[in-house]
Amino acid sequence: MIIRKQAVLKAAALSMALFCVLFIPHAGTGSADLLIPEVKSFTLDNGVKVFTISDELPRSEIIVSLSYGRLFEDGSNAGLSEVIAGTLLLSGSSRYPGDSLTDLLESAGGSISVDAGWESITISVKVIERHTGLAFDIIGDLVLNPLFNEDSVKYSAGHVYEKHRRQMDDPAAKGMSALREIVFNGKGYGASITRQSISSITEKTVRDTWTRHTTGGNIIVSVSSS
């Protein structure tokens, strides 16, 4: 029996070695010679960090990351970062309010997304190269002059709660959420969305949180363009 097991192990090891020889590229082959574009970085006078990279294609993508996400939440305001992200996309900004924002970008062959993660809220605008100026103007106005109106806050809050409720229909997801809440004492990774936490989020909450965290040192801008 032992000899048979050893034979099986040897056969498996031989198969693995053969796979590595045939399919894993050696140093110096084409796949290892992939050239990665240079990333340039600098910091503006107001503390905003900027990273740029060249793209051979005639397109531009601008990403702004705000250092505020779900890790900043607790049981009293869980879901706030997602509500902020949703409200920002729905409300737009002073010069690009509501649907006019997405309509303008779509007519220019571009797109926009706003997402909330554990550590940040991220705004991403993609356009063809000749509309790069428009992309910068849109993102700048969103960051500085967002229109956080009450209707958009309520709609976004309801959407975030329903999304969470559907996720909790999965027993595994519900169990993991309960475990994180215990391990992290209901804060950060352990902050769980409830009807009460969502109900506590108002237009003022959203606006005050955004204003407090949109300072130079909390913002990173990444630009990919030709």
Exposed e or buried b for every residue in 206-224, given b needs 16+ CB within 10 A? Answer: bbebbeebbeeebbbbbbb
Pairing verdict, β 49-54 and 219-225: parallel
The Cα angle at residue 85 between residues 152 and 92, in degrees rounded to 5: 55
Q: Per mean pLDDT, which range of 113-127, 144-158, 178-192 is the poorest?
A: 178-192
Distance CA 124, CA 100 (A): 17
pTM across the whole model: 0.81
DSSP 8-state secondary structure symbol assigned to residue 30: G
Question: Average of pLDDT values for 73-81?
Answer: 95
Residues 32-47: pLDDT tens digits? Answer: 566 777 889 999 999 9
pLDDT (0 to 100) of residue 8: 43
Distance CA 116, CA 85 (A): 6
